[in-house]
Structure 1
């Protein structure tokens, strides 16, 4: 996960809840195994979608994760 081409992929927590969209990954200089992964919180993404649509979308709701 978090390789070239993964930008925009959804990120789930261990309970199956959508938490954000993958943005980028950085590997600190001199480290080959440890990488920093950045995500955009899903709340921010959904708020921006509502603002961008200028009133055409009033609310966005997410279904609960399976088994909840």
Structure 2
């Protein structure tokens, strides 16, 4: 998953915005965040796209 790879390159406190069109992202992204220990700042729908703002946690995998 592209999001997982990008999260690994971030420093603590960095944020990314992920845009998805796959309906399963509504399940996959929050599960990924729980697994990595990072923080989901915001999640919303914009038309057919789901937008996720994620912050890299300190000490996250």
Normalization by structure 2: what TM-score? 0.30
Larger radius of gyration: 1
Higher helix share: 2
